[in-house]
Amino acid sequence: MDFKFYENSWIPAIKGIFFFIFGLFAFLQTGTFDTLSIFFDVLIILIAILYLSIGFMVKDIKHRKWTIVVGFFHLAFGIWLSINYGGERIELLWIVIGWILFSSLTDLVEAIMLFIAKNVLGTLFLINTIITSIFAYFTFEMIEQYTPSLLHYLGIVAIMVGLVTECTAFIFSKSKNLPE
C-alpha cells in the first residue's frame, strides 16, 4: 500500500459540511424534526445534483459511472423524502436512516476501490464508514423515543461526524502534493 493521489476529495468535503450543518441545526434545536427533515431533504438533493453534474460534465473523472449511479440514488432518496414529508415521524426517520446507511455504504465502496488501487487513503473512507454508521445508530434510537434532548444529542453526534469527515477531506486534498 502506498499514499497516492485521490482526485475526489470533494466527496467527503460535501458530506462533512452536510453532517456539520445538520448537526448544528439539531443541536441548536432551531425547529422540530419535521423542519430538520426539510433541511435534510434539500441537502440530499444538492448532493445528488453535485454528484450528477460532476459525473456528466467532468469527462476525465475516475469511476465516472459510479459517481452517476450514486448521484441518482441520492436523488431518489431526496424525492422519496419529499413525497413522504408531512407523514409520520417514524416513516421520515426510516428514510433518513436509509440515506445515512446508504452514505455509509458509499464510503465503504470508495474505501474498497482505494484498497484495490493499493492506496492507503482507503483507510480514511473506512473510518468515515464507521462514524457514519454510528450516526445511523443514534438516529435509529430516535424511532423508539423522540425527545428534544435526544435531538440535541443527535446534533452533537452529527457535528462530530461532520468534523471527522471534513478532516478526511482535508487529508485527501493534500494527497495531490504527494510525490508519485
Over residues 96-154, the pLDDT tens digits come to: 788 889 889 988 988 898 888 888 888 888 998 999 899 888 888 877 777 777 778 88
Cα 142 to Cα 154: distance, rounded to the nearest angstrom: 9
pTM over cut 0.85 = no
Are 152 and 27 in contact by the 8 Å Cβ rule? The answer is yes
Q: How far is CA 55 from CA 28, 48, 51, 73, 104, in A?
A: 35, 10, 6, 13, 20
Q: Which value, to the nearest 10 degrees, does the dihedral of the CA atoms of residues 103, 39, 80, 47 take? A: -40
pLDDT of residue 34: 67
pLDDT in tens, 11-28: 788 888 888 888 887 777
Whether the per-residue pLDDT at 5 is higher than 70: the answer is no
Nearest alpha carbon to residue 139 among 109, 96, 110:
96
DSSP H helical ranges for 85-121: 89-116
Bridge partners for 2 per DSSP: 119
Q: How many CB atoms lie within 10 A of CB 44?
A: 25
